[in-house]
Amino acid sequence: MVKKTQETDNLDELESVEEVEEGAEVEDGAAEVSGEETEVVDAGEEAVEEVAEEAAVEADGAGSAARAGGERPEITDEELDRIADTAIETLRELLVFFGAQDNVIDEYEGDEGELILDVVGDNLAVLIGRYGKTLDALQYLVASLVNKKIGYRYPIAVDVEGYRNRRRRKLENLAKSAAARCIRSGKEVRLRPMTPYERRAIHIILRDETRVETYSEGADPQRQVIVKPKES
């Protein structure tokens, strides 16, 4: 039997700890939802999935002009206000399915110039979902619908109580640990299956690391990021 190296143990442990922490974060909030509230939450999640499928079809059809052909105008303060108002209105319409439409929505600019909408309040774990999948669906819907309404693509991110910032810090630790292991061993490191948001974050985090490179492999939901030594 091949003995696992300490590097492998450390990386596996880091991934396991992060999965437990993230699962607990979602389950702690979800544990407070019961009875009729559970029916509302289930209905909300089903509605998001159904609308997501419809939005995907629209994005490939009528919405494709906004995504690919729409000319992006000069972004004045007035235009940015219009985008933000449209995005907040769209997000609130979706939050109705979860009974969360009255929560505060903070808006601010992200590090890459994107508009971030952060829903704040109590008991919002249901908006995140397991491993952030519900939140990813909400973000996809909001971005697709807003881009169609304004006629061009503008980067929009949806967050819940700063969840994405916390998740990104965990992904940074995971990415750096994987890169360090790859450099030490000179071999590829295969991470666990991730969502599109998580995979993109790993690629961005390691894109300036000169000794390794990353690529994705497989089909969703089992698509994984591979970290490999960069060829000289």
Q: What is the CATH number of the domain that holds 54?
A: 3.30.300.20
Which residues of the chain register pLDDT less than 70?
1-70
Same domain, 142 and 219: no
**Sign of the C-alpha dihedral computed for residues 223, 50, 109 and 130 taken in this order:** negative
The pTM of the whole model exceeds 0.75: no
Please report how many Cα atoms fall inside a 13 Å half-sphere around the Cα of residue 17, on the Cβ side. Answer: 10
The neighbouring-strand residues paired with 146 are none
CATH number at residue 204: 3.30.1370.50
| Best CA proximity match to 150, nearest among 78, 95, 56, 223 | 78
Q: How many domains does the chain have?
A: 2
d(CA 126, CA 41): 7
Q: Which domain holds residue 198?
A: 6-21+166-229
- Of 140, 161, 182, the residue at which a domain comes to its end is 161
Does any domain span residue 41?
A: yes
Q: What is the pLDDT of residue 3?
A: 42
Rounded Cα distance, 218 and 81, in Å? 40
What is the 8-class DSSP label of residue 123?
S
pLDDT at 133: 84
For residues 9 and 15, what is the distance between their CA atoms, to the nearest angstrom? Answer: 10
Q: Does residue 111 lie within any of the structural domains?
A: yes
- Tell me whether residue 26 is in a domain: no
Give percent helix, percent strand, percent coil of the chain, each to the nearest 5.
60, 15, 30
Looking at the domain assignment, is residue 14 inside a domain?
yes
Start-to-end CA distance of the chain, whole Å, equals 34
Residues 13 and 47 occupy one common structural domain: no
In a domain, 1, yes or no: no
User: Which of 136, 161, 186 is the C-terminal boundary of a domain?
Assistant: 161
Q: Are 156 and 171 contained in the same domain?
A: no
Q: Are residues 183 and 203 in the same domain?
A: yes
Q: What is the predicted pLDDT for the residue at 165?
A: 86
Domain boundary among 161, 183, 217: 161
**Residue 27 placed within a domain:** no
What pLDDT was estimated at residue 27?
42
Given a contact cutoff of 8 angstroms between Cβ atoms, the answer to whether 195 and 133 are in contact is yes
